[in-house]
Amino acid sequence: MGTSVDTERLEEGCELLLDFEKLRKVTQCDEAVVPVAVQDADTKEVLIVAYVNQTALAYTLEHGVAAFWSTSRNELWVKGETSGDTLGIVEVRVNCEQNSLLYIVRPLGEGACHTKGPDGRSRSSCYYRRIKGGALEFVA
């Protein structure tokens, strides 16, 4: 999915085009990472699932803002540093088997998704479409 036309189709379309190869690419980056689900502390909406290495977790805990590891750029990704859509950390939770995290956050910008909704603002969550009858439907 390299071109903007493909990105448009993937992100704004109603075709189910699930990328089952991404996770292998994630683990082929130089750093060992765990998945992190990110949830809004107030609306309880699930905003993103991303990946975190030791460095990104340490940054998050120290600075109180959500940081991830960009597995494509192989660098620390402090959410909002470019977009302004910073996510303030309320709590970091760990699952039973200690192989995933949950960031509970307060969005300090417009939203959490890099895509824009019909109002031109960052969507609050990346999960703005549901699967219905084998296709995608935008959630009201």
Phi, psi of 115 (to 5 degrees): -85, 160
State how beta strands 135-138 and 87-94 pair.
unpaired
Mark 7-36 with x for binding to a second copy (rule: CB under 8 A) and - for no binding: ---xx----xxxxxxxxx-xx----xxxx-
- Minimum CB separation of residue 131 from a second copy in Å reads 5
Could you say whether residue 94 binds a second copy (CB under 8 A)?
Answer: yes
Structure tokens at 135: 């296709």
Could you say whether residue 72 binds a second copy (CB under 8 A)?
Answer: no
**Hey, what's the torsion of the CAs at 79, 82, 88, 92, to 10 degrees?**
10
Could you say whether residue 95 binds a second copy (CB under 8 A)?
Answer: yes
Closest by Cα among 114, 117, 12, 31 to 74:
31
Q: What residue ranges bind a second copy (CB under 8 A)?
A: 1, 10-11, 16-24, 26-27, 32-35, 37, 39, 44-46, 48-49, 51, 53-54, 57, 61, 91-102, 113-115, 123, 126-131, 136, 139
